[in-house]
């Protein structure tokens, strides 16, 4: 038997703003890295590694100051999820 729990959070307006910024940064980085992965896949037939995608972050944070606002782990998880998605795509 499986059990499931549902939780509802009630963030303050400041927390809502912070969450929206974090989600926006993660979404922007996902789209940026996805486009880069797609271009690389078209040219080489291979995706990019998680290490390579995460290696893009320091330069992007210098170029786009607003990427420094969320926790770094938020953007690192984007790189992990994208690289996992490409691994699953190429193996199937």
CB 85 within 8 A of CB 41: no
pTM for this model (two decimals) = 0.86
Q: Give counts: helices (H), strands (E), the chain.
A: 4, 0
Query: Does 36 fall in a domain?
Result: yes
Number of domains in the chain: 1
Query: Does 4 fall in a domain?
Result: no
Query: Does 48 fall in a domain?
Result: yes
- pLDDT tens digits for 5-63? 999 999 999 999 999 999 999 999 999 999 999 999 999 988 889 999 999 999 999 99
Answer yes or no: is pLDDT of 88 > 90: no
C-alpha 28/C-alpha 66 separation (Å) is 11
C-alpha 78/C-alpha 39 separation (Å) is 18
Query: Does 14 fall in a domain?
Result: no
List C-alpha distances in Å: 56 to 5, 44, 64. 37, 19, 12
Answer yes or no: is pLDDT of 79 > 80: yes
Confidence class for position 89, pLDDT limits 50, 70, 90: confident
**pLDDT, position 91:** 67
């Amino acid at each position: 038997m499986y059990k499931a729990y549902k939780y509802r959070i009630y963030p303050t307006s400041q927390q809502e703003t912070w969450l929206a910024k974090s989600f926006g940064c993660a979404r922007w980085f996902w789209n940026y890295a996805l486009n880069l992965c797609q271009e690389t896949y078209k040219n080489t037939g291979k995706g990019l590694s998680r290490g390579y995608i995460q290696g893009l972050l320091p330069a992007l944070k210098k170029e786009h100051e607003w990427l420094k606002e969320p926790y770094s782990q938020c953007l690192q998880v984007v790189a992990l999820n994208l690289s996992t998605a490409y691994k699953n795509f190429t193996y199937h």
